[in-house]
Structure 1
Amino acid sequence: MKIGFFALTIISKKLRIPSVSRSLFLLVSVSKVLCGVVQIMQDETKESTNCQSTKKRKKFGRLHEVRKKLRLQSHEMGPDCKCRKKCFETLKEEVRKEILRHFNLLLTEDEQNLYLCGLISLVPVATRRPRQPEESAKLRDATFFYIIRAKINDRIEEVSVCRTAFMSIHGITKSKVEHLVRSLKMTGIAPKNKRGKHNTRPRKLSPEVLNIIHDHIKSFPNRSSHYGLRDSLKIYLSEDLNMKKMHKLFEEVHPQVKISYETYRTVLERDFNISFGYPRTDTCSTCDQFMAKKRVLLAEKLNKRDNETKKIERLIEKIELENTVHKSQAEQFYIRKKASKLESKKSKEIEAICFDFSKNLPAPNLSTNDVYYKRQLSIYAFNIHILGNSQSVFYVYPEFVGKKGSDDVASLIHHFVYNFLDEKVKSLYLFCDSCTGQNKNFTIFVSCIIWLT
């Protein structure tokens, strides 16, 4: 295969290799290197598991908010009032539609109530003519007038309408108008929506129980994401844990506190930003050096005088600036990787790959205690991920067949280039970490020259 241009990009950055737990392995014999080749295609279908799932009634979420907004902003115009004022004849159909459109654009129920109450006037009863004795007659406390404020003939006018027309134009019910009128009589202001704002919650967790749950969740060892210029609040727990196990451990530690699994899960998802599985098994030595220096300086700052603390603060600022520059340089890895991925998707003459060894797999994979005291066979897995089509090629071999040195890496990439890479590719971008024993060495650079020739 002839390659016209080859670019090798090696950044001091660990590579994120996608999960292959649900992938299809295809073993192929390889010449010169006694190993198995695994072609991985993305499996978009989810495996059906036998784990038990509990049902939970949805109270919040995007669908719930959409339903509320639709109910609030989907008022429809009612029928003609057919009163002696001839309200629908005074207000043309275009004016009535424009009024209803603006009313539906109000975002909350409180805004709609405030708008409607501004169109209702309350005045004392002028004349009473009860047909029954005053002792048994139901006398009104006040008289209400309804107006419609609209743009008619290029000017804003207030038109007096009947209550039926007022309800029809705004698409509201009689009970809604009575609720507004009742609030104006009692308080003189528009009513506010108080749904869900009460304190009658007998099943609410007490602060003491909530603190116990928080302390239990915080007791698990965790890690934060290592790389990134922005500080993330997300923490990672061990991949051996899950919510079910954490809840069972909570019941063992606190048997006197009766908490269901749903309650425990709700608190964990609501109050914490947690994922399972550590994002990184090793960290950058330069970043670790910066953090170690910063911890030492912060400890010295507590025992120094005021005039000496300024010097330490300047040193800390210098270290933080150097660490920011270092992470900015590392961030370029992902910028270049993303740009190469987009280029490879647009053109068949450009391809980008990233490669690295995954975690050593013990054979046999047993959980017996005796295994921890015996020597197990290690299985090596070398992953080459094609960024253009999201496919992966895995080379799997035991430790007695090959090692994990530069010769092995060069042989595996050589096999990939001449067996899996499209013949139309003229530019190839390689992304890897800066491990000198595997990738960043003279053997790999010489292999690149051989592939070019």
Structure 2
Amino acid sequence: MACSSSSLKSYFEEAIDNNDIRKKGVKRTAEYKRNIIKMAKVKGLEHKNHVNKLVPARCTGQECGCKKKCFRLVSDNTFIEAVNQMNGFNTKNEQDVFLQGLIMRKDVQRRRGRKDEPGRREAMFVYHVRDSGKLVAVCKKAFLSIYCVSESSVKRLCQLILLGKSPSDERGKHKPSSAKDATILADIHSHISSFPVHQTHYGDVDIYYLSGELTVKKMHEMFVDKYADRNVSYHYYHKYFKSHFSLKFGRPSVDTCVICEEKSIKLKSCLNDTAKRVATAELLVHKRRSKKFYLTLKRASQLCIERDDFVALSFDYMQNISLPKIPVQDMYYLRQLTVPVFSVHNLKTSEAVFYIYHEGQAKKGPNESELLTQSYYVD
């Protein structure tokens, strides 16, 4: 008996490069369990199916036992070549096309007269095996054993021959019963896109977010009210939101700019067209300056890495600390002591130095910034 000597583990160790680190968002369909099982079936490898049952490697089956003694009509090498040829294909479509070419259709030569003929055959089929480049006619059972295929697979190929069609693997291509219609998906997408999206001001990476008063639950309730005839559950709506939109809720606490807030309020207020155009132009100039600053900071960081004779420093006041920190509401508004925090960041060494003092010692202004910076240079 001819069997496949390859194992599933050794095959995929060669097919998958272990040094290739998986990147976020990159799909590896070849590593999916269903695709591993499909490939193991095509290659005739020993594997476990979806119910964790061990499936042996592809081997030549038992002799047919018919009067023609079909196994004696071909040489011994034919059994090994048949198994290797089936294992050499990369897809099931290639295997089916090859097997279909070995099945010949013939008209039924003699029919017996019967009263009821519900199962009248349209045609008969002759099965062949390749032996040293020649086609040798064998019985159906011998054909199944030599090429190690199931009877249902051959029956499907015969039905396709009667229909005049080529075999096509349709596994995994059927539309699931739970799939939503394209119009429903378009309604969900347009509904989520209808909410105003805001963009962060600070930071190297732009972050887009929705209003902090919104949640996915509230958005779904609005969708149900607007599209009462659409049967969309909260779970499906939330899943679509996560997979198609990269939005957050609420503005980040550190993303606060006085100028942006001032200009945005002016644009929302009842101003005339001239005042709105001026506010829009000032906001645009401010954002361009901000973008230019962050590009300069990014360029300086890159030069610190590339050059040994280049050093860049960034310094700024951080958020003030109020003392004492007491959660009692009455005492919260009675806190008078503010502690400024001045930071100097060395972009060359990625180290930061913090200067902390309270407002009783010094104020928070340009003079203090210059003195602290000079202190950093001296130290």
Q: Give the TM-score range, shorter chain.
A: 0.5 to 0.7
Distance 1:381 1:330, change over 3 A: closer
Tell me the equivalent position of 2:22: none
CA distance in 1, matches of 2:240, 2:233: 11
Q: Using structure 1 for the length normalisation, give the TM-score.
A: 0.46
Tell me the equivalent position of 1:188: 165
- The alpha-carbon deviation at position 275 of structure 1 amounts to 3.9
Instruction: Note the 1:294-373 alignment, pairs <5 A.
Output: 331=295, 333-334=297-298, 337-338=301-302, 340=304, 356-360=316-320, 364=325
Tell me the equivalent position of 2:32: 66
- The alpha-carbon deviation at position 366 of structure 1 amounts to 6.9
Contact 1:113 1:180 in 2 (8 A): no
CA distance in 2, matches of 1:273, 1:98: 49
Q: Using structure 2 for the length normalisation, give the TM-score.
A: 0.52
CA distance in 2, matches of 1:170, 1:381: 79
Tell me the equivalent position of 1:143: 124
Tell me the equivalent position of 2:270: none
Distance 1:385 1:178, change over 3 A: farther
- 1:124 and 2:106 correspond: yes
Contact 1:385 1:391 in 2 (8 A): yes
> Match for 2:198 among 214, 222, 227?
222
CA distance in 1, matches of 2:294, 2:180: 47
Instruction: Note the 1:30-429 alignment, pairs <5 A.
Output: 66-75=32-41, 76=44, 77-81=57-61, 82=63, 84-85=70-71, 89-91=76-78, 93=80, 96-97=83-84, 99-101=86-88, 103-104=89-90, 106=91, 111-112=93-94, 115-116=97-98, 119-128=101-110, 135=116, 138-145=119-126, 157=133, 172-193=149-170, 195=172, 197-198=174-175, 200-201=177-178, 204=180, 207=183, 211=187, 214-215=190-191, 218-223=194-199, 235-237=208-210, 240=212, 246-250=215-219, 253=222, 256=225, 260-275=233-248, 277-278=251-252, 281-282=256-257, 331=295, 333-334=297-298, 337-338=301-302, 340=304, 356-360=316-320, 364=325, 379-382=339-342, 398-401=358-361, 405=365
Contact 1:220 1:237 in 2 (8 A): yes
Percent identity between matched residues is: 18
CA distance in 2, matches of 1:169, 1:353: 76
CA distance in 2, matches of 1:389, 1:139: 87
5+ residue gaps, structure 1: 1-60, 289-295, 301-318, 418-446
- The alpha-carbon deviation at position 70 of structure 1 amounts to 0.7
What's the secondary structure of 2:32's corresponding residue? Answer: helix
Contact 2:197 2:208 in 1 (8 A): no
CA distance in 2, matches of 1:140, 1:336: 82
Q: Deviations over 1:179-229 (max 9, x none)?
A: 33333323523245164544754x84794696367435642442168888x
What's the secondary structure of 1:188's corresponding residue? Answer: coil
Aligned length: 302
What's the secondary structure of 1:189's corresponding residue? Answer: coil
What's the secondary structure of 1:70's corresponding residue? Answer: helix
Q: Deviations over 1:386-431 (max 9, x none)?
A: 779977666555555555556655776788x7xxxxxxxxxxxxxx
5+ residue gaps, structure 2: 1-26, 45-56, 65-69, 264-272, 278-283
CA distance in 1, matches of 2:157, 2:218: 53
- The alpha-carbon deviation at position 246 of structure 1 amounts to 0.6
Distance 1:80 1:378, change over 3 A: same
Letter in 2 for 1:127: Q
Larger RCO (alpha carbons 8 Å, 6+ apart): 1
Contact 1:113 1:191 in 2 (8 A): no
Letter in 2 for 1:223: Q
Distance 1:124 1:147, change over 3 A: closer
Contact 1:357 1:383 in 2 (8 A): yes
Contact 1:147 1:160 in 2 (8 A): yes
Letter in 1 for 2:60: D
CA distance in 2, matches of 1:410, 1:129: 109
What's the secondary structure of 1:236's corresponding residue? Answer: strand
Distance 1:237 1:135, change over 3 A: same
What's the secondary structure of 1:74's corresponding residue? Answer: helix
What's the secondary structure of 2:218's corresponding residue? Answer: helix
CA distance in 2, matches of 1:396, 1:123: 92
Q: Deviations over 1:220-275 (max 9, x none)?
A: 442168888x9x8x73346x57xxx5134336656746865422321212332324
CA distance in 2, matches of 1:165, 1:386: 79
Distance 1:255 1:138, change over 3 A: closer
Contact 2:97 2:166 in 1 (8 A): no
Distance 1:85 1:251, change over 3 A: closer
CA distance in 2, matches of 1:134, 1:217: 69
